[in-house]
Amino acid sequence: MYRLGYLEGRLKGYEREEDMLKLAGKTEEPKPKPKIDEEKRQKYASNNLVQLGRMTGKYAGIENMRKRRLLKEPEGFFLDEEKERLTCSICGEHYYGNEMWWNLDGTRCKDCYRNIKEGVIPSLKPRYDDKSNWFESYQIKSNHGVHPSSVRKLVKEGLLHSRDLKRKDGTVYHTVYLESENQEFLKKYPKQKSKIQMSIADNKGNKINL
């Protein structure tokens, strides 16, 4: 617009390479995609090993991104994923990613993370880790042969020591037992060998017994 000696207008800037190519009247040639035989695609796409490899690759990529983020947030951080629910490595409850705290020790829900910060429990290893130094209520029967009705009696007698995890309102949502505090119990009721042996391998190829 031109009026009374003043010039008015707008400026529009371009910084992306593809936009500049369009202004110059050029188009970037698409990179050729590798050709995959359609018959092979249909044959192997639903194969269990292919699906497992795809999932493993996806998990490894996510894990690497999280580890890079630890460089700036070494203590850990709440995840950003909100589309799917994740499992807490301590209590086993499911929450969306923005309610899950993550560091190299595992994924913890907001309640378990708060109990760790408040000193109710130490930073525990994941519940299915072979090197975990704690156990849960259901394992007292399955691994040590003690009936649930006897657990309270053992706690009163001081043979079994528990740590209750509580929500903000004070309700108990999970109970854990540290091996370091229950050596006497473990000697009297040693862990029984399971008749059913099952194991899986993690993304690094390490064997995990279930």
Q: What does DSSP assign to residue 82?
A: -
Q: What is the mean pLDDT of residues 38-64?
A: 68
For residue 26, is pLDDT > 90?
no
For residue 85, is pLDDT > 90?
no
Token pair of 6 as six digits = 């003043």
∠ CA 152-156-161, nearest 5°, is: 80
For residue 47, is pLDDT > 70?
no
Most confidently modeled range among 19-33, 37-51, 77-91, 167-181: 167-181
pLDDT of residue 192: 82
CB atoms within 10 A of CB 67: 11
Question: In angstroms, rounded to a whole number, what is the distance separating the alpha carbons of residues 12 and 149?
Answer: 75
| β-bridge pairing 163-166 and 172-178 | antiparallel
Which of 208 and 9 is assigned the larger pLDDT?
Answer: 9
Which of 18 and 207 is assigned the larger pLDDT?
Answer: 18
- 142-183: pLDDT as tens digits: 899 998 889 989 999 999 999 999 999 999 999 999 999 999
Residues 6+ apart with CB under 8 A from 60: 203
Residue ranges per structural domain of the chain: 48-209
pLDDT of residue 17: 74
Residues 6+ apart with CB under 8 A from 151: 137, 140, 160
CB atoms within 10 A of CB 168: 8
Tell me the pTM. 0.62
